[in-house]
Structure 1
């Protein structure tokens, strides 16, 4: 399969279609590309931000749902698990939607689709509604999770390789901030004795604003095309699945804890909805803000190195959580949980930066140079990002199911944290063995073309 075509767009497509786009050309980037890319990044972040808010709104709505709703803690964890599951699954088709409809056009459509779960939740969120109804409406909210995949695929095409860590980190971090923002809004509403419908009513006009701004200020790139051959190659490539595993540990942790944190505080430490809301937003906020830092550090020092050390930190924070959970120390538990959020956000940035670097390294190892190597890297990294993002989000499902089982079996989240600690240890071993072990780097170098200096995976 050849690289994506750069043939001019049909005239009927209109002025919003960019016919030629080559961000690796430094002259083009300085004169034209950078300004256009940053504008599209800004409005992509806005739409993805609201998408994250809608996806995670049930982590907030369950705080409003007191005894009069007739739901057990296990019911609530199951509800948030299924919302997370849908958000993970729809990331795959959302990845391909960018090439079918265009990045701008799909941003408009995907933003508009957020009205469906928001209006549906507004209609049913009241005591007396059956759990099955809540579950069905919650599943609709999962479409908000898909906005991440389409946004990342779109922005990946706008920026040159040397800027991808920063751009993808900023794009994802700005989207991730949708989680703490909706939690902050909920805190204000709960504090003012408002109900869940007030929260939902605030977001309905915001969704419309995001869609209108995308229509006014974003662009489609003509040479972004779905490459089924690239998708098949990405599925067959072992690095796609290795990075999916590592992304479960970082993003899976971030989104899973975002859904579960408030419920754990309520069920294990007896916090009221208002008391839980006072702290639940802090971890997701800091984790979102630091994601671009993870990408920037990966640009400078190598994503594999940052990811490795980050898993060490996540393991230590989880060990502290186990101690705090067993001793029922709310203060220590809260601090350790927030630290874990921060590290998950840092790791989100560093792991996603690794993806284009890995496939660029493979291109160089095949003897490709210049634009041919860049095209190969874009082709495989773009195809793999949606799948990696989808599998990574499944980690959030696992976290909520683990908490559900832990509370059913032990009455606390301690058992779940022990399982998470073991998983982070496995992620550490995989990162070291595949991307940093001397023999792995040496083996990569020996297969590369001798005519051109090669990157090792330790530098991705």
Structure 2
């Protein structure tokens, strides 16, 4: 297939921008910033709806009382399946931007959200088999893919100096879809409505989001369908290191978003309405703070923010471990909210690191100017989808860990012990790879490049 950037503008469908150079100050001030912000706004809207559809099952399972015949383990398995599909589809969604154009794929991916929403509306009633719920949950996973395509698209619109803020705002606005669907569910439950009312609210919203994206977003001709970039990103160790770190931040955010309500109902005996009053707070604050994590990373370096963020996450998890054992709801809920906030900060700082790392590697190779910027943009765009997919798998791990913990111990204590150990490993990896200074003397032929490369990572 011919890459979009090589075809004449007149032969393309949709809105295409032929020339895009956000690193050029004059271009950025004249029209680049205005165009980028417009695309960012509608990208956030569509990604927001995608997150709501993806995480809708975190509240649908609260509606599903004894008459549905599902055990706590069944519900954790159901949410694990939804999270898994959302992680896997992020890979093809990343490359769809270059294949079809950012605006075009945003329209398609938004419209596709109608499939799982209408399907859930059709089957959501007592008597439906657990297998059917699992299959419909698989469909809902496509909502998780919108994040990957949205981040890849917006990454191309903004200059390096603005990426932390822009990517943080884009992801944070999308992440807010989690607490919003929980708040809408709270209103529905409070009004004695059922799960079909919640689903019915989102069907017209999906249509509106797709139409607005079609009317107001743009495709960038400079974003090529570069399969070589995907191969290079897969071969680069930093892609997988950052994917591992993103498991600790975003994996925590999305995993806890799915699991929080179930933990409150199963471990602390809260009713679905009582749980709904509490579950939205953590995802809301974690979403709002994500751009702050990106902005802090722009200023102080993403590696530094990420490192200390893991210290905070480990400390919060240790407190949750004790609070759960003591069955202290008064301590458990606010500390869980703090953990959400820290996961949001870490989401912003880790994603800011990705383009910075590849920019540093380009400079270490001797590339300069637009050549270095282009190389970094090419690899970071490809890497983001892979990192986002692996990171979302952390959400699967969290729900499976809770499921096993409840099966084995009747509480989430075992799961929190595992999470605590994992955050310790994330701290060690961040320090060792991106912040540790080289020790001892090395041969003169390699000393300068390695030192420069290592020192530059501390600023990413």
TM-score range relative to shorter protein: over 0.9
TM-superposed deviation, 1:10? 3.0
Deviation by residue 1:24-82 (Cα, 9 ceiling, x = unmatched): 11110000100000000000000000000000000010000000000000000000000
CA distance in 1, matches of 2:222, 2:65: 51
CA distance in 2, matches of 1:211, 1:311: 37
**Do residues 186 (structure 1) and 188 (structure 2) align?**
no
TM-superposed deviation, 1:14? 5.1
TM-superposed deviation, 1:326? 0.5
Supply the RMSD in Å over aligned alpha carbons.
1.8
Q: Specify the alignment match of 1:87 in structure 2.
A: 86
Paired residues of 1:433 and 1:440 also in contact (CA < 8 A)? no
Paired residues of 1:7 and 1:19 also in contact (CA < 8 A)? no
TM-superposed deviation, 1:448? 6.6
Paired residues of 1:364 and 1:454 also in contact (CA < 8 A)? no
Q: Specify the alignment match of 1:32 in structure 2.
A: 31
Q: TM-score, normalised by structure 1?
A: 0.96
Q: Specify the alignment match of 2:162 in structure 1.
A: 163
Paired residues of 1:98 and 1:154 also in contact (CA < 8 A)? yes
Paired residues of 2:51 and 2:143 also in contact (CA < 8 A)? yes
CA distance in 2, matches of 1:336, 1:356: 32
For structure 1, the 5+ residue unaligned runs are none
Q: What are the within-5 Å matches in structure 2 for residues 394-413 of structure 1?
A: 394-413=393-412
TM-superposed deviation, 1:445? 7.2
Paired residues of 1:266 and 1:272 also in contact (CA < 8 A)? yes
TM-superposed deviation, 1:323? 0.6
**Do residues 459 (structure 1) and 455 (structure 2) align?**
no
Q: Structure 1 pair 456/368, CA: closer, same or farther in 2 (3 Å)? A: same
**Do residues 308 (structure 1) and 311 (structure 2) align?**
no
SS in 2 for 1:334: helix
SS in 2 for 1:439: coil
Q: Specify the alignment match of 2:349 in structure 1.
A: 350
**Do residues 447 (structure 1) and 449 (structure 2) align?**
yes
SS in 1 for 2:21: coil
Paired residues of 2:14 and 2:104 also in contact (CA < 8 A)? no
**Do residues 425 (structure 1) and 424 (structure 2) align?**
yes
Paired residues of 1:111 and 1:211 also in contact (CA < 8 A)? yes
More divergent stretch after superposition (27-36 vs 432-441): 432-441
Q: What are the within-5 Å matches in structure 2 for residues 23-172 of structure 1?
A: 23-172=22-171
4+ runs deviating over 4 angstroms = 4-8, 440-445
Q: Structure 1 pair 137/445, CA: closer, same or farther in 2 (3 Å)? A: farther
Q: TM-score, normalised by structure 2?
A: 0.96
Deviation by residue 1:164-191 (Cα, 9 ceiling, x = unmatched): 0000000000000000000000000001
Deviation by residue 1:354-378 (Cα, 9 ceiling, x = unmatched): 0000000000000110011101110
CA distance in 2, matches of 1:292, 1:298: 10
Deviation by residue 1:308-347 (Cα, 9 ceiling, x = unmatched): 0000000000000001000000010001100000000000
CA distance in 2, matches of 1:356, 1:330: 41
For structure 2, the 5+ residue unaligned runs are none
CA distance in 1, matches of 2:239, 2:231: 11
**Do residues 381 (structure 1) and 383 (structure 2) align?**
no
SS in 1 for 2:126: coil
